[in-house]
Each structure stands twice: as C-alpha cells, then as structure tokens.
Amino acid sequence: MHGILQRIMIYAGVIVALYVFVVAMMYLGQRKLLYHPSRTLGTPAAHGIAEVVPIKLKSTDGLTITSWFRAAGTNKPILVYFHGNAGNVGDRASKVRPFLDAGYGILLVGYRGYGLNSGSPTEAGLYADAATALDFLMRTEIAPDHWILYGESLGTAVAVEMAVRFAKSTPVGAVVLEAPFTSMIDAAKSHYPYIPVNLLLLDRFETIAKIRHIDSPLFIFHGSADATVPQTLGKRLFDEAADPKSAKWIDGAGHSNLYEYGADKDVLDFIKRKRSKGVGKVKN
C-alpha cells in the first residue's frame, strides 16, 4: 500500500509540475499568443486600393506609425478601421473596398509591430496608435461626428476605447463592431478553460466595462459559428450597451467570413440610416 501511495504522489507531483510549467510558459509568451502581426506589407496599389495613400504619424511615445488614408467624398463620413490581431492593414484592403466605392473616407489604422512599423504591440500601445491616428483627423479638421469607428475582432476593443475617450466632449458619429468580445479574459477562457487567465493576462481589453459609455449609435454583427470569439460574448456586450444600438446575428458565419454573408451591406445600411438622421454629415 505504501508503494502505491508513493507512486500516486510521484505522478501527482509530475502532473502539478507540468501544469505549472505550461502556465509559466503561457504567461511569458502570452503576447506572442495574442498578437500575430505580419511584417510583410506592399503598397496600397499592390493590395488593390490604389486611391489610398500611406501616412506616417508620430506616436506620443516616439514611434513612427504608418496608416493608410483616403479623404472622404463630399458630405461623406470617414470609416476609421481598427483591424484584428493578425496580419496588417494591407490584409483589410478588400474589406474597405465597399466603403471606398461608396465614397467614404478611409483611415486604416496601423499598429506598432505590424507591417513596417517598429515597436511591439501591447494594449496600451494599440490605444496610443489609435489616438495618434484620430489626432491626425482632428488636425485635418475632420470632426469626430463625421467618424465611423469600425473595430474588427481585437480592434473592437480599440474602437470602443477611442469612442469612450471622445464621448464626453465630441462624440463620434457611430461605432461598428465586427465579432466583438466582452474582455480578453472572457475570450481567453473560452480557449483555455483550465488556465487561470484572470491572474495571468497583461492586456485585458475590458470592453464590457466601457461599452455603455460610448454615447454614439452602435452596430454589432457576429457569426453564430465563430470559433475564435464565441457569439455569446458579442451578445453579452450588446446587452450592456446603451441605446441607440442594433445588431445582426449571422447564422452560420464564422469569425473571418462575415462579408461572405453580406455583412458589408449591413454596415453600409446602418451608416446610411444614421446619416439620414444627421450622423456623419459635414457641418457647414
């Protein structure tokens, strides 16, 4: 009996040691798990949006961040696009094409560590890069009520953070969230249920604590078959948001194929409805 107990204790010790090792490795490498930048970036023309031009902006912490920009047509809003955790701005060229064709302005916001940009991504760093891009719009005299802040996946947290910052003074025209999540803790738990992510996460992106404060019309769309960010998180976020809000829960759609289900048309319809009520119109 003593020998059996001894073996059980040894096996248990090995299991605990392996668990602690895995948790430690995940803690140390968590930002590599979260951020997946592509460092290869061609020109806008090479990506099929030749009318867009690169702009280099200096962040508050001294980094030069390149974003892609095209001014809006007459009396059209500008779509400020905060992309997700993988790739770079070039990979979103096809997604902004419908908005370019509609005459909207486009600002594809570059992040540190993505594309040709220096630095390494963090939550605070992404917020700083987004704020730098919006400061450019302010200096270009494009007013916040003319902005449509569009967040994709991880970028939804960035879009909401920026909307909250402007809510008390000059609310943005509208906010569009594609496949959003409540917090990075909740999103990580859906993939790593046996890891104490609430104790380990450095970049938490607590969107659910901010969503009710954006003070702008909101549109959320999310696929029912999303295996990356469960649709339940998007629905929880929507429930917490203040009016005016609307949503499209797309049956069968996954995380990255929502436009194949006509989501771009849903976004365009939302923007047109809001503009008919005065959102995103140029003030003389």
Q: What is the pLDDT of residues 126-156, one digit of tens each?
A: 999 999 999 999 999 999 999 999 999 999 9
Res 73 pLDDT > 50 = yes
Asked if residue 83 lies in contact with residue 106, where contact means CB atoms within 8 angstroms, the answer is no
Residue 111 exposed, middle or buried by CB count within 10 Å (0-12, 13-18, 19+) = buried
Q: What is the Cα–Cα distance from 178 to 83, expressed in whole angstroms?
A: 10
The CA-based dihedral angle spanning residues 246, 251, 253, 258, taken in that order and rounded to the nearest 10 degrees: -30
At residue 284, the pLDDT reads 28
State yes or no: pLDDT of 6 exceeds 80: no
Write the pLDDT tens digit of every residue in 215-243. 999 999 999 999 999 999 999 999 999 99
DSSP state of 120: -
Q: Are 178 and 258 in contact (CB under 8 A)?
A: yes
Top-level class of domain 38-276: alpha beta
Q: Measured between alpha carbons, how far is 181 from 200 in angstroms, rounded to an integer?
A: 18
Flag whether pLDDT at 51 surpasses 60: yes
> Residue 212: which residues within 8 A CB-CB, separation 6 or more?
240, 241, 242
Give mean pLDDT, residues 53-57. Answer: 97
Structure confidence at residue 280 (pLDDT):
44
6 versus 1: the higher-pLDDT residue is 6
Q: Return the higher-pLDDT residue of 22 and 250.
A: 250
pLDDT of residue 277: 66
